[in-house]
Amino acid sequence: MSYRAATVTLHWQSTSRLSTKKIGSVMHTMDEAAADRATRPTLTDREIEVLRTWLICDTKQAAARTLFITAATVNTHITRIRDKYEAAGRAANTKAALLARALQDGLIAVEEL
């Protein structure tokens, strides 16, 4: 084997190991992101809108007036959101608990409250 061939082989082996390490690191990061997404419920845009409005307003009636829907519709959305959090293993049975989940999931910022 010539010097050049040995250099190319050595270079390929060292970059292969480096690539394997990088791939392993990326895969680990992807696994963490997937696990994080698995605990977050998938809320529709409308559910997020209703949740955010209800958290900012004092009551479901006030949120309903803001969104031009009925309080019963707000209640239906909130019930579905709670069910989705329960299914994800992150129960939120009170408004305070839903607020905590929304803050944790980046659905609303403290400054908006």
Residue 58 and residue 113 in contact, taking contact as beta carbons nearer than 8 Å: no
Fold of 45-112: Arc Repressor Mutant, subunit A (1.10.10)
Question: Model pTM?
Answer: 0.67
Q: Which residues contact 90 (CB under 8 A, 6 or more apart)?
A: 39, 41, 101
The pLDDT tens digits of the residues spanning 54-94 come to 999 989 999 999 999 999 999 999 999 999 999 999 999 99
SS (H, E, C) 24-50: HHHHHHHHHHHHHHHHCCCCCHHHHHH
Domain boundaries defined on the chain: 1-37, 45-112
